[in-house]
Amino acid sequence: MSTYKTQGIIIKRSHFGEANLLLDIYTKEYGKIQAVARSARKARGKLKGHLEVFLLTDLILAYGKSIDTITNSTVKNNFLNFRNNLKISLGAYYVLELVNKMTIQYHKDERVFELLKKELYFLDHLAKEVDANEHSVPEVIKKYYLSILFLQINMLDLSGFHPEVNKCVSCANKITSGKNSFSFKFGGTLDEKCSFKDIDAISASDNAIKLVRLFSLQKTDNDEYKIYLEKTFQKFGKIQIEDKLIFEIISIMNRFIEFNVDRKIEGFRFLG
Ligand SMILES: [Zn+2]
């Protein structure tokens, strides 16, 4: 039996046949893959508990004719902290659904893996912070929202759907502060004189445009991107912005995402 190893994050888990599991996994080496785990739901199955959603795990898979089979799973992190925090775990579910719907199988991008991994570690760390000190809640919520917004904008970038926020998507004039709007149909900002071109466009505040620019992808090389992630996540605590505004931009970015993938992201309604 020919096998291969990969590290991945389990993004979706469904029942398959009587005792099997069907898993969607975002892997470092192959991008998103789908694989089956036979007998994983049996009480004594050796994989039981090693293939839950969110897990970061080292996998061994056997090549199959139509689908590969997971033969071993060694859990690296189970993110137990955020699993016990309802609000943060709902954010984590949203993130998994978003990554799943914005990626296609066997299209490898190590940056997507690193981004998702970083986000899950960060959310786990936030949950720990709340457990240790309940007064940290407002600060944690701000960082929680900023991290989700950052992930949305980066996923849009990495999938080639990044909204244009530097120039008007209609006349190409530079966007300056003032009465601009976001157009989902045209994929970015419209300036005041072009806003009539899309009746569905919604108002884009200067702060919203600034934050989208700030979180836009700046590194394309895998290693540089990892460093960029580390640095950016550390800065979330220093950004002065109201939660309400961050959430407003999250909801706008969610609409860009849904427009581009042409599917609803169900988990969005649990975020607010
Ligand atoms: Zn214009």
pLDDT per position as a tens digit, 95-108? 999 999 999 999 99
Helix (H) or strand (E) holding 66: none
**Residue 219 φ then ψ, to 5°:** -125, 135
Ligand 1 centroid distance, CA of 254 (Å): 23
Please, is 152 exposed, middle or buried when counting C-beta atoms within 10 Å of its C-beta (0-12, 13-18, 19+)?
buried
Ligand 1 centroid distance, CA of 155 (Å): 26
| Domains of the chain by start residue, with CATH | 3-77 (2.40.50.140), 80-162+216-270 (no CATH)
Q: Is the pLDDT of residue 42 over 90?
A: no
Query: CA 89 to CA 123: how far, in whole Å?
Result: 8
Ligand 1 centroid distance, CA of 168 (Å): 5
Ligand 1 centroid distance, CA of 193 (Å): 6
Kindly state the tokens that stand for 37: 């785990």
Confidence of residue 112 (pLDDT cuts 50, 70, 90): very high
Confidence of residue 45 (pLDDT cuts 50, 70, 90): confident
Ligand 1 centroid distance, CA of 11 (Å): 40
Task: Compute the mean pLDDT over every residue in the chain, rounded to the nearest whole number.
Answer: 94
Ligand 1 centroid distance, CA of 196 (Å): 10
